[in-house]
Amino acid sequence: MTNLSILPGKDRVGKAECFDEIRLERGNLYSIVGSTGSGKSRLIKDIEQLVDGDSITGRRILLDGQPVGKERRNRLSNSLIAHLGQNMKFVLDISIEQFIGQHASARGLPTHVRDSLAERVIATANRITQEPIFAELQLSALSGGQSRALMASDIAHICDSPVVLIDEIENAGIDKHEALQALVGTEKLVLLVTHDPHTALMAGMRIVLDHGGIVRTVERDEQEQRLFLELETNYRNQTTLQQRLRRGEHLA
Ligand SMILES: Nc1ncnc2c1ncn2[C@@H]1O[C@H](COP(=O)(O)OP(=O)(O)OP(=O)(O)O)[C@@H](O)[C@H]1O
Ligand SMILES: [Mg+2]
C-alpha cells in the first residue's frame, strides 16, 4: 500500500463535503484539526474501519485507489492500521524484553534480528520519554508516558502496518517530535488529531473539520514553516523547564 484516499461524504446536517478526493501518502504526517465535536475522531474511525459509504458520514476510504470490499475489511484494518490511543496502559506481567520478543516472533521476524530489535525499540522509546525504560522492566510497572513511548516505538519498528492513527498526543508525558519522527521515518502514513498549533504544524498538510464535515485542507507554507520553528524553540524551552521542575530545581 502506498496511498490512502478519502472520498467525500456528508456533514452532520447532511450537506455534501466539497472536495473530490484527499490523497494521503506513506512517509508523511497529516494533522486533523477543528473545534470540539467537529468530527475529528469520527474521521479517524472512518479510516480505521475502511468505510465504504456505510458509516454515518457516508465517506469512502480507498487504498491505492481501490475500495476495500466488506469481506477483506477487518483483516486489512488489522494488518494495515495501528491506533495509538490516549490512555494506554499495559496490564501484562512480562518484561519489556519479553514483550518485544513475543511481538517480533508473532510478526514472524527471525531470532537473529530480535536481539538488536529490542535494543532499537528501547533506544527509540528512550528518546520519546524522559523516564528511562530498560529491557528488564515489567510492562505493568510502566507509567502512562513510558507506555505510550514504548507503544510508539513498537509501532515504528515492529508493526508492519503502514498507517498510524493518533487521537490527541499532547499532555501525555512524551516528546511528540521524537515520537512522530520515529513513525514517519519508518515510512508510515501518520494521521494525528490535535488542538495544538505546534503539533499541527509538524504536518505538511492539515485537514480541517467543522460540523462533522471536512471543510478544507491547508498546506503549510513558508510563513507557517517559520512560525513552526519559533514554536519549536518555545517547545524545547518548555520541555527543559519541565525536566528541571520535575527534578525540584529553581527555575529562574
Ligand atoms: N458527518 C457526520 N455526520 C453525522 N454525525 C457525525 C458526523 N461527524 C461526526 N459526527 C458525530 O458527531 C459527534 C462528535 O464527533 P467527534 O467525536 O468525531 O468530534 P471530535 O472533533 O473528535 O470532538 P473532540 O474534540 O471533543 O474529541 C459524534 O457523535 C460523531 O459520531
Ligand atoms: Mg475526538
Q: How confident is the model at residue 86 (pLDDT cuts 50, 70, 90)?
A: low
- Ligand 1 contact, 34 CB (< 6 A): yes
- Ligand 1 contact, 1 CB (< 6 A): no
Closest ligand 1 atom, residue 38 Cα: 21
Whether pTM exceeds 0.85:
yes
Question: What is the average pLDDT across 185-208?
Answer: 93
Question: What is the average pLDDT across 70-87?
Answer: 84
Best mutation site among 41, 51, 60, 167 for ligand 1 pocket (most ligand atoms within 8 Å of CB): 41
What is the pLDDT, as a whole number, of residue 169?
66
pLDDT digits (tens, 9 = 90+) for 35-60: 999 999 999 999 999 999 999 999 99
The Cα 203–Cα 183 span in angstroms is: 13
What is the percentage of the chain residues whose pLDDT exceeds 90? 61
What is the percentage of the chain residues whose pLDDT exceeds 70? 96
Q: Do β-strands 163-167 and 81-84 pair in parallel, antiparallel, or remain unpaired?
A: parallel
Ligand nearest to the CA of 37: 1
Q: Where are the beta strands (DSSP E) in 104-231?
A: 163-167, 189-193, 205-210, 213-219
pLDDT digits (tens, 9 = 90+) for 119-158: 999 999 999 988 899 999 999 999 888 988 999 899 888 8
- Ligand 1 contact, 36 CB (< 6 A): yes
Q: How confident is the model at residue 19 (pLDDT cuts 50, 70, 90)?
A: very high
Pairwise pLDDT comparison (84 vs 38), residue with the higher score: 38
Neighbours of ion ligand 2 (CB under 5 A): 41
Ligand nearest to the CA of 13: 1
Rounded distance from Cα 175 to ligand 2 centre (Å): 21
- Ligand 1 contact, 11 CB (< 6 A): yes
Tell me which range, 13-22, 83-92, 99-108, 165-174, is most confidently predicted by mean pLDDT. 13-22
Interacting residues of 185 by C-beta distance below 8 A, sequence separation 6+ = 156
pLDDT digits (tens, 9 = 90+) for 211-246: 999 999 999 999 999 999 999 999 889 888 988 998
Rounded distance from Cα 50 to ligand 1 centre (Å): 17
Q: Tell me if 30 sits within 8 A of 206, measured CB to CB.
A: yes
Ligand nearest to the CA of 209: 1
What is the pLDDT, as a whole number, of residue 69?
86
Question: What is the average pLDDT across 199-222?
Answer: 97
- Ligand 1 contact, 212 CB (< 6 A): yes
Pairwise pLDDT comparison (95 vs 182), residue with the higher score: 95
| pLDDT exceeds 90 at position 178 | no
The Cα 144–Cα 90 span in angstroms is: 9
- What cell does 45 get? 474511525
Q: How many angstroms separate the Cα of 136 from the Cα of each of 33, 100, 124, 128, 142?
A: 39, 11, 16, 19, 12
What is the pLDDT, as a whole number, of residue 5?
98
Annotated domain spans of the chain:
3-220
What is the pLDDT, as a whole number, of residue 174?
78
- Ligand 1 contact, 60 CB (< 6 A): no
Half-sphere exposure of 114 (CA within 13 A, CB side): 17
On whether the 3-220 domain is CATH 3.40.50.150, my answer is no
Closest ligand 1 atom, residue 58 Cα: 1
Q: What is the mean pLDDT of the chain?
A: 91
